Amino acid sequence: MFDYRPMRAHPFSGAVGALLTVVAVAALPTAAAHAQRAAAPAIAQAPAPPLASYADIAALAEKAAVVALVEVRDQAVVAPARAPGLAPCQARLYVEARTQALLAGRAAVGESLAYLADVPFTAKGKAPKLRKQRFIVFANPVAGRPGTLTLVDPGAHVPATPETEQLTRTVLAALAAADAPPPLTGVRDVMSVAGNLTGESETQLFLDTATGTPVSLTVVRRPGMEPQWGVSWSEIVDQAARPPEPATIEWYRLACFLPPHLPQGAFLQDDRAARARAEADYSFILQQLGDCPRIRT
């Protein structure tokens, strides 16, 4: 026969069991919290704001004989006494850089370049360290000083991110195209003619350009329909002309250089109603084009 006797509990068994129970209970909310965090959707990080707009790059590119991608090799701070026109809270740097790519140029450049650039102070009120950083420089060569450039404006070296590099290449290609639209210099003539039906009209605006190439805008209104407008970059005034696509050189020419109001001397008619239609149609064109945003200051 077996001698059956109840086993006595180990003196530490109760304490260990209680401790494990406490740990298990304490772990429940922690585990639940981990589960909740794991189930929570990830918060998308906001993209970095753009460093330059289409209009910014186009304005710089049109003034530059050289557009180059460079990497800064060294820098020196120019004493404020030797930096006339320096804005407050900025430093003027003498920058030595290595050419990585010539994106556009009416002048040859070497492997090493030097230029002056105005840059904002850091949060600590000091000049930033630019060594090994990449920039897109918009500049003109200095006569008689090979490898020395003058930026088209004191801050015309834009940080070279994938976005700014792609935008610059897009703008440069559009400016170099054989059919690139010329710069506008003003509104020359305006006329508006009413149709046979109430609410029917056509307004034509003829623009002056730097090259003398004719450019015209047309707005057609028909009863019960949205007004239609377009631009013609030739001598032909075409009712089928279409508006320019945003962020193109055609859009840039119009959105950034049309005056805010029609000049009084441009009207070919003394009729008050015709002038009112033309002014309304011109306001419609400006509204459709939208603002000409600038990010660089």
pLDDT tens across 227-253, in order?
A: 999 999 987 777 678 999 999 999 999
Q: Report the alpha-carbon angle 48-52-57, nearest 5.
A: 150
Of 156, 176, 196, which residue constitutes the final position of a domain? 176
146 plus 259 within the same structural domain = no
Helix/strand/coil percent split, the chain, to 5: 30, 30, 45
119 plus 222 within the same structural domain = no
Instruction: Decide which of 93 and 8 is more confident.
Output: 93
Across the range 97-106, mean pLDDT stands at 94
205 plus 133 within the same structural domain = no
151 plus 62 within the same structural domain = yes
How far the first Cα of the chain sits from its last, in Å, is: 101
Print the domain residue range for 99: 54-176
Contacts of 226 (CB under 8 A, 6+ apart): none
Task: State both tokens at 233.
Answer: 């970059």
Across the range 263-285, mean pLDDT stands at 97
Instruction: Give the SS3 label for residue 206.
Output: strand
Q: Give the rounded percent of residues in the chain with a pLDDT score beyond 70.
A: 83
Q: Are 66 and 140 in contact (CB under 8 A)?
A: yes
Q: Are 143 and 113 in contact (CB under 8 A)?
A: no
Report the candidate in 235, 242, 239, 176 with the shortest Cα–Cα distance to residue 206. 235
Contacts of 161 (CB under 8 A, 6+ apart): 51
206 plus 235 within the same structural domain = yes
Cβ density class 258-272: b for 16+ within 10 Å, e for less: beeebeeebbeeeee
| pLDDT number for residue 45 | 62
What pTM was estimated for this model as a whole? Answer: 0.81
Instruction: Give phi and psi for 260, each to the nearest 5.
Output: -70, -25
> Does residue 34 lie within any of the structural domains?
no
Number of domains in the chain: 2
> Does residue 4 lie within any of the structural domains?
no
Query: How many Å apart are CA 219 and CA 242, to the nearest integer?
Result: 10
| pLDDT number for residue 46 | 62
Query: How many Å apart are CA 215 and CA 254, to the nearest integer?
Result: 11
240 plus 199 within the same structural domain = yes
| pLDDT number for residue 22 | 33
Q: Report the alpha-carbon angle 277-282-286, nearest 5.
A: 150
CATH number (domain holding residue 129):
2.40.50.120
